[in-house]
Amino acid sequence: MSPDALRRQLEYYRDLGIKDLYRKDAIPIVNIELPGLAPTGDSLPRILKDIGDCTRCRLHTGRNKLVFGVGNPQAKLVFVGEGPGADEDAQGIPFVGRAGQLLTQMIENTAAKEGIPLKRADVYICNVVKCRPPENRTPEPDEMETCGQFLFRQLSVIQPKAICALGSTAAKALLGGKDGVTRLRGKWHKWHDIPLIVTFHPSYLLRPYNQNAKREAWEDLKKALHFVYD
């Protein structure tokens, strides 16, 4: 069997939740190591192809369109949200609803104010889960884990200079741990050696009583933009 075929076979077992494999004829039991998550020569089209018409978790049942990611595949800055909402599910593009319009404004207006020539199309935007959770609920841990492997591959392929995690779901998926945005925001963290900043999710900022968070989110974004583009 070729290494690629073996990798696909093992990924299939992993998707079924099987982590340990035992060789048929071996008397001493052999635990076969799963190969690294990203295959050699990985690319965004390859990841999309591997996701395919995904039925790995329950979220596929309510999906209209899978929402993979949008933007510059060589982006220096990647934004990671939680999961598609209704507009994103209808269009297959992340952050196109109200929260998305706010994110676009935040990126473009903050960059313009700071003298950085940057448009939304220059960054890359994706989510932890690629299918819309019912009623926009928070993705369950098993859904995040199943879909997270594709997010990790996207980030590994793009290799941005920095990642901006929008909200606590993205922060948890990328940093682990239980801390929420209030604790994590404004400071630099790391995802596999790539600097990562956490800030509020734009949906949270749309609520009228969160004006203070809005100011803080703008500060976080300024910090990220100067780090990446100065």
Contacting positions for ligand URA (CB under 6 A): 81-85, 88, 94-95, 97, 99-100, 127, 203
Residue among 91 and 156 whose Cβ is closer to ligand URA:
91
- E strand spans, 38-182: 70-71, 77-81, 124-127, 162-166
Tokens for 204, please give them: 């949270």
Characterize the bridge pairing of strands 194-199 and 162-166: parallel
With CB atoms as reference, the residue minimizing the distance to ligand URA is 81
Distances (CA, A) of 83 to 25, 99, 120, 214: 44, 12, 18, 21
Minimal distance, residue 80 CB to ligand URA, in Å: 8
Q: How far is the CB of 8 from ligand URA (least distance, A)?
A: 29
Residue 127 or residue 199: which is nearer to ligand URA going by CB? 127
Secondary structure (DSSP) of 178-215: S--HHHHTTSEEEETTEEEEEE--HHHHTSTT-HHHHH
Least separation, in Å, of the C-beta of 69 and ligand URA?
10
Closest of 77, 91, 123, 85 to residue 104, by C-alpha:
123
Q: For residues 82 and 143, which CB has a smaller minimum distance to ligand URA in the complex?
A: 82
Considering the complex, what minimum distance in angstroms separates the CB of residue 197 from ligand URA?
A: 16
- Is the Cβ of residue 112 or residue 206 nearer to ligand URA in the bound state? 206
Least distance from ligand URA to the Cβ atom of residue 203, Å? 6
Question: Which residue lies nearer to ligand URA by CB, 14 or 65?
Answer: 65
**Structure tokens of 110?**
């903050």
